[in-house]
A and B are shown apart, each in its own frame.
Chain A
Amino acid sequence: MTNETLLGVDDLTIAFGSLTALDHVSLSVQKGERLALLGHNGAGKSTLFRAILGFLSLNTGTIRIADAAPGSERARRAVSYLPEAVAFSKALTGSEVITYFARLKGEPPRKALELLETVGIADASKRRVGTYSKGMRQRLGLAQALIGRPDLLLLDEPTSGLDPISRGEFYDLVDRVARQGAAVLLSSHSLTEVEAKTDRVAILSKGRLVAEGRLADLAGAAALPIKVRVRAKGADADALHAKIGGRRLNGRSVELDCGTGDKMAVLSRLAALGDVVADIEIDTPRLDDVYRHYSKPPAPGDAA
């Protein structure tokens, strides 16, 4: 049961006229797995969601949701969706919104209303949505998406505009749902944000899937150099530069690139220099560097 594919996207291309929004994209999400979809604005994240929901016609490829075609009755029962920047009618109360969607999904409203407790806005359930804060509205959206224990949860930039604490709480809820067996596909702008919150990431750039895998593997495969910044004693960067090479940063510092493998060798060489060196700073590549590495446009002639 651990390897049950709830979402399978294979060789998907979607074009709007001459604009190719998705270009031969393949990915899959298993039961209980969280896959983060990353990409700039216009990279094709929302288009992928709309295709999975069956709103678009596919130019090539297939999509299967729990072994059903997108948009089919079975697929729609399995899927729950939270669109980006959704604004529920301000005049309805939180519990009215949940009751409405429970009825549309054919689930008992009473059970669905318990979800307001789960997402932590039960106190505000009788208040109109117009009085909710942005975080509360997003929680209401998540409660709506959790109605009827969906197999596949599609969350389109669910945390954009949330403060870091609300964001953390939001991911805790997603984590809980995944542990109960749902497959989660969520999109985000920032790799840092989804670190440790998802099992795998997929990076879209201009409609193409440029990277997919576990975060640590992606960082390793990118093989971004570790930067070692060395500050010279007595502001004598020239002497230091003559000894160790690298790039002059300013009058006092020199920067070296080194691979993960020879970090220790570089450091012991620097240590051996003795009092020429005043300080050493080691800058390991951050997630956003990894993201930038993958999502930069392919070089000419590189297109496969």
Chain B
Amino acid sequence: MKSLSRIAAVANTETRLASRNRWVLLATLILVLFALALAFLGAGPAGSRGASALTLTAASLATLSVYLIPLIALLLSYETIAGEIERNTLPLVLATPVRRSEILIGKFLGHIAVLSVATVVGYGIAGAAVTLVHGFDPGGALAWTRLIVTGILLGAVFVAIGILVSASTPRVGTAAALLVGIWLLLVVLYDLALLAGLIVDDGGMFTKTIFPLLVVANPGDAFRLFNLAALEASAPVGGIDGLARSLPFPPALALAALAGWLVVMLSAGLARFRRLRP
């Protein structure tokens, strides 16, 4: 009971800080603007191959989210412990009866709350706009819901990574530099390396057996794969995403991979935080 109230106090303070510092507003705006741009600019999803506009936008949003959601999650969380070390409030907090695990969980939940609000409101507004213009269909609505829920899960993984980074360095500046590096590595370079592998291998061993596992092993790719596989044949996909058609395992494994990342990153963050000497 006491433990829960302390976790709530930490989470509450984190969300309050995020909203005071305009992070909630900024994150929501970014998501809604990019989603609307995808829905109404560019090729224009309506009418192609019988798929509904709602479904098609969900498919392109799945790809965009891989870049945006991790970035927002890392931006929300990288400062959370390093900042307290810099301001010298961490020893003060740790001198109270609160446990380190409670602080970490509280901070995690606080950032998830902010991210959830941004994702639900941002994608919700965009989804409603697409529905208003192009009409409603149940399959599309399901795809959007799936996108929002798994998007929050993807964000949770990166919030956990951000907390791990934040607990690993006493300087906010170093944490920020690490965050950029991690984002580039996991979200951009990883995919480029996989594509290079596919080209070199040209349909051989790598493409058939190792490649799908490597895709699922990356949180961003796992998220995209799960969403695109669920859309089945209704949306046109290509590139790495073509894999969604020919998965050698059930798409739920992609979700399990995401959950695995979450558990590992949170545990690593807690281990780092426990060893930290304020």
Contacts and interface: CB of A to CB of B under 8 A. Distances in A.
B17 interface: yes
A120 to B, nearest CB: 21
A92 B20 contact: yes
A298 to B, nearest CB: 29
A144 B88 CA distance: 14
Interface in A270-289: none
Interface residues of B, number: 25
Contacts of B91: 50, 53, 55, 81, 83
Contacts of A53: 91, 94-95
Contacts of A92: 13, 16-17, 20
A89 B16 CA distance: 11
Interface in B93-132: 93-98
Given A55-B277, A92-B20, A144 B92 contact: yes
Contact of A104 (B17, B87, B93, B278): B93
A86 B89 contact: yes
Nearest to A82: B92
A126 interface: no
B5 interface: yes
A87 B90 CA distance: 10
Nearest to A80: B95
Interface in A31-57: 50, 53, 55-56
A104 B96 contact: yes
A104 B97 contact: yes
Instruction: Please indicate which of the listed interface residues B5, B8, B17, B89 has the most CB atoms of chain A within 10 Å of its own CB.
Output: B89
A50 B278 contact: yes
B21 interface: yes
For chain A, the bracket of interface size reads 20 to 34
B96 A76 contact: yes
A104 B6 contact: yes
Contacts, number: 76
Given A55-B278, A92-B20, A106-B2, A81 B13 contact: no
Interface in A83-108: 83-89, 91-92, 96, 99-101, 103-106
Contacts of B6: 103-104, 106
A106 B8 CA distance: 12
A88 B83 CA distance: 11
Given A84-B88, A86-B88, A100-B9, A56 B94 contact: no
Contacts of B16: 91-92, 96
Interface in B204-231: none
Given A86-B89, A92-B20, A76 B95 contact: yes
A82 B92 CA distance: 7
A17 B93 CA distance: 27
Nearest to A102: B9
Interface string A98-135: 01110111100000000000000000000000000000
A148 B1 CA distance: 18
A154 B278 CA distance: 16
A105 B96 contact: yes
Contact of B87 (A89, A101, A144): A89
A53 B16 CA distance: 28
30 contacts: A53-B91, A55-B94, A55-B277, A76-B97, A79-B95, A81-B91, A81-B95, A83-B92, A86-B88, A86-B89, A87-B87, A87-B88, A89-B13, A89-B17, A89-B87, A91-B16, A91-B17, A91-B21, A96-B13, A96-B16, A100-B9, A101-B96, A104-B9, A104-B10, A104-B93, A104-B96, A104-B98, A105-B96, A105-B97, A106-B6
